[in-house]
Structure 1
Amino acid sequence: MSCPPDETPAPSRPVPVRTLLSPRYARLQLRTLTGSAGIEREILHPTVQRPGLALAGYAKLVTPGRIQVFGGAEHTYLDELPEEGRLAAVRYVLSRGPAAIVVTRGGELAPAVVDAAREAGVALLATGLRSSVFIEELHEVLAETLLPVVVQRGVLVDVLGVGCLITGPAGIGKSQCGLELVTRGHRLVADGQVEIRRYPPGVLVGAPPDLYRHTLDVRGVGVFNIHDLYGASAVRDRKRVELVLRFESPPAAGGEGDEAASPAQECERIFDIEVPRLRLYARVGRVMPVLIEAIARNELLKRRGVDSAVKVRRTSRRPPADTDGGGGDE
């Protein structure tokens, strides 16, 4: 099952650097070395950069509006330069208009470098985290604050590694199906409200709002904390949205012919990205979790180039084999 790909870069919602210094993002362990200078600059990109060769004067390696991270490699290079060369290298990066510069591992820069950042109006920040850990945490924060988001009603479950977004009218059994999938060893991502963000290039990732993280609300029964009930292996904080499974009530006639006539493949547009969608009739006696497992397994087979429907169609077009045995009258 596939839909036309989308490679359009995701638009961003600029946020000021001071947002990263708020208590909400204390896990970044950021502190400012330049006071209030530069904290109103806007962050324009959801990914960070390591300046690397930009310190040696390669202009194309610094994108304006991105956060630049000075890690071990940058420190080693700067330490080998004379004081004048070190200051010139940092000033060159500052001239390219970064959103801010972050020094990792609690590193310190020379007072002249701090003064140069302050004069350029660029915030110079420090964190005690290692570069790899900090960049991973910062990417999560920037995705939350910068990337466009849409809230979808439904249940997002990781089924065998396939991100399945279950949608449909209220009371049709989406949350109960999600709970049954969890008991079968799959992982809950979000229930009720699914925040879907668009990552470049054209990737949709779903996550729960902080208030409802790891919880599942079954109508008429109550709210369950899946992490507490089933452990960390039963939940995920986010997952790519790869399939939309829309639950619908059976047609009034209730005939199988109506269901058989439903489209085998549809697409649902989220932002400007087409996501494969299947419509499933939620009727009494139908075990939806088993059906969803089969759909997920079939999707995995398709990724390996095996399409069961195509194989059946090819087989049905073959002429019947001669079963006469080739014998004649003796």
Structure 2
Amino acid sequence: MTKVQTKDLIKQFKLELITGEKGLDREFIMSDISRPGIELTGYFRYYPKTRIQVLGKTEISYFNELSEEERIDRSKRLCTDVTPCIVITRGLDAPQELFNECEKENVPLLRSPYKTTRVVSRLTNFLEAKFAPFTAMHGVLVDIHGVGVLITGQSGVGKSETALELVKRGHRLVADDSVEIHQEDYDRLIGTSPELIEHLLEIRGLGIINVMTLFGASAVRSQKEIDYVINLEIWDEKKQYDRIGMDDELIRIIDVEVPKTTLPVRPGRNLAVIIEVAAMNFRLKRLGVNAAEEFSTRLTKMIDQEKTNIENGITFD
């Protein structure tokens, strides 16, 4: 599991540390965020103490209207030994009672100048990405006309060489050999490259090349959503391959089903061009244009017309 500590938030979002420096090594165990509104009234039965606690203008205003005894009580109950941090938004001043308790219990008390909704949104997105389900796949990820294409296949089938040709044709490399995949939403997969091999391609017989150095920054990108999987396999004469494109194949990655196409490989086939066209055709399908279905519809109409002509005794010489 990814390790996230309070100090990572300060670094990522440039939050101001008010007090609780000794607690910056506290770890998060979930991505959920809490705005302790009902807790400030004194109801702590279901207090989610292991979450980030965000106090906005409403919470601070209500807190300041409490009696001194109530403020001390709420501060003590908000600050536990497993609370990762408390964040005050809009650049508001921290109540003295909360400051004292955070300092005593080593709970990091942070401040952001931004609005509460923006802070909550950014923190949620950051933590969701960190705690997203993760896997790694052997393959090459390329951005082709905005479509994230994951090219898979057995070792030596020509994935990296195909990716190199695609880069030469103006597309962008995301990862070669190993693709790290995070499921950032219930239907969204994000692919990245391991830091060690970022921007690198391994070409057998040539060695390792740096794509960004050779082709420029426009030839690479750090991450891309995976939209489409193309599996390369050695041409099998005994196997019947799809010639029309009506068979919709899916592959399950983590919890997401992604459209998949199998391309047979044999000498003379320009895989880069075929994959480029496949990505363009996939994009058209998402826009509602399906050439295979159009052909099938035309064929069905022609067959029906021929049957009607035969039934009516109409023939053409």
Task: Look up the equivalent residue of 1:43 and give its one-letter code.
Answer: I
In the alignment, structure 1 residue 281 sits paired with structure 2 residue 270: no
1:311 to 260, 269, 294: 294
Change (3 A) 1:271 1:302: same
In the alignment, structure 1 residue 226 sits paired with structure 2 residue 211: yes
Unaligned runs of 5+ residues in structure 2 are: none
TM-score (norm 1): 0.71
1:290 to 254, 273, 298: 273
- Counterpart for residue 221 of structure 2: 236
Change (3 A) 1:276 1:317: same
1:156–1:190 contact (8 Å) kept in structure 2: yes
**1:1-330 equivalences in 2 (<5 Å):** 13=1, 15=3, 17-18=5-6, 20=8, 26-29=11-14, 31=17, 33-37=19-23, 39-45=25-31, 51=35, 65-68=50-53, 74=56, 78=60, 82=64, 84=66, 91=75, 94=78, 99-103=84-88, 109-118=94-103, 122-126=107-111, 136=122, 139-140=125-126, 143-144=129-130, 146-251=131-236, 253=237, 258-260=240-242, 264-318=247-301, 319=304
Change (3 A) 1:290 1:68: farther
Higher RCO structure (Cα 8 Å, ≥6 apart): 1
Report the structure number with the largest CA radius of gyration. 2
What whole-Å deviation, never above 9, does each CA across 1:111-155 have from its counterpart, x for those lacking one? 4322234567743235799986996588457624x2221110100
Change (3 A) 1:66 1:260: same
Task: Look up the equivalent residue of 1:207 and give its one-letter code.
Answer: T
Is the partner of 2:214 in helix, strand or coil? helix
State the shift of 1:158 in Å.
1.0
Unaligned runs of 5+ residues in structure 1 are: 1-12
What whole-Å deviation, never above 9, does each CA across 1:255-281 have from its counterpart, x for those lacking one? 7x7334799332212113221111101
1:33–1:126 contact (8 Å) kept in structure 2: no
Instruction: Give the Cα separation in 2 of the matches to 1:226 and 1:264.
Output: 35
Change (3 A) 1:239 1:53: farther
State the shift of 1:76 in Å.
8.9
Instruction: Give the Cα separation in 2 of the matches to 1:303 and 1:123.
Output: 47
Percent of aligned pairs sharing the same letter: 32
State the shift of 1:78 in Å.
3.9
State the shift of 1:224 in Å.
2.1
State the shift of 1:174 in Å.
0.5
Instruction: Give the Cα separation in 1 of the matches to 2:258 and 2:172.
Output: 20
Q: How many residues align?
A: 299
State the shift of 1:163 in Å.
0.9
State the shift of 1:246 in Å.
0.5
Instruction: Give the Cα separation in 2 of the matches to 1:229 and 1:320.
Output: 58
